[in-house]
Amino acid sequence: MSFEGRASGKLRFESSGRLAADVILAFHPELKSFLDEVVRQGWKFLYIDTKATALAETEVQGVPYSIYSAFDDGGHGMGPSGYVIQLQVGPTLPKIVAVSSVEEFRINVSTKDYPRAATVDISNGTVLYIHDAFWRWERGWEQDERKLSSAKEVYAVAKWLLEEKKLKLSQPFELKRYEEISALLKDISSQ
């Protein structure tokens, strides 16, 4: 069974999935504010991944459509499982009018020497990754200026994210190790 005709009026679409970062930022200035703060710290960022729910609208006037039966009964002849509407909304995509939720907004925070000093999901307030230059720090390495400099560079990012911005580590068991290394680096810096 199928029908054909013409449709007119406003159409609204809601969908979830990847969405361009600039579109999300246009509707969520708090995320833009966070990114601006990263830059003010003297670092850079790189968009990694996003997932959001967006609402789009378009107005149609007399566009052709067809409605047809969709069969998904395993071939048992039980009839249609639903109906599909097919219509061409126009030469351009419907306009996004809202981003109702942001499930994921991941970035890498980059320092001078580390393009991935940390990976953060801003929308969830979670630090997903901190570079090993920090995690592998050990007492006694302060004599090696290169290791000390690397650890401090990554630590500055981690400290800002965790202590100033109050984000959480994605792996809570890492908090104890973070506190231990943080104390070592603070002790060295105060000498």
24, with CB counted inside 10 A (0-12, 13-18, 19+), is buried
Residues 56-111: pLDDT tens digits? 999 999 999 998 887 655 555 555 678 888 888 878 889 999 999 999 999 999 99
pLDDT for the residue 156: 96
Confidence grade of residue 173 (pLDDT, cut at 50, 70, 90): confident
**Residue 1, pLDDT above cutoff 80:** no
- Residue 93 per-residue DSSP state: P
75: left (phi over 0), alpha (psi -120 to 50) or beta: left
pLDDT for the residue 166: 97
Cα-trace Rg, the chain: 25
Q: What is the DSSP string of 97-143?
A: EEEEEEEEEEEEEE-SS-TTSEEEEGGGTEEEEE-HHHHT--TTGGG
Confidence grade of residue 161 (pLDDT, cut at 50, 70, 90): very high
Residues 115-143: pLDDT tens digits? 999 999 999 999 999 999 999 887 777 88
Mean pLDDT along residues 3-31: 94
Partner residues linked to 106 by β-bridges: 49, 121
Q: Provide the residue ranges of all domains of the chain, joining segments of one domain with +.
A: 1-33+51-103, 111-191
pLDDT for the residue 84: 86
- Say which residue the tokens 């801003």 belong to: 122
pLDDT for the residue 73: 53
pLDDT for the residue 76: 56
CA distance 189 to 1: 77
Do 62 and 6 meet the contact criterion of CB atoms below 8 Å apart? yes
pLDDT for the residue 172: 86
177, with CB counted inside 10 A (0-12, 13-18, 19+), is middle
**Residue 190, pLDDT above cutoff 60:** yes
Identity of the highest mean pLDDT range in 4-13, 15-24, 87-96: 15-24
pLDDT for the residue 16: 96
Q: Phi, psi at residue 72, to the nearest 5°?
A: -145, 55
Do 85 and 67 meet the contact criterion of CB atoms below 8 Å apart? yes
Residues 21-68: pLDDT tens digits? 999 999 999 999 999 999 999 999 999 999 999 999 999 999 999 988
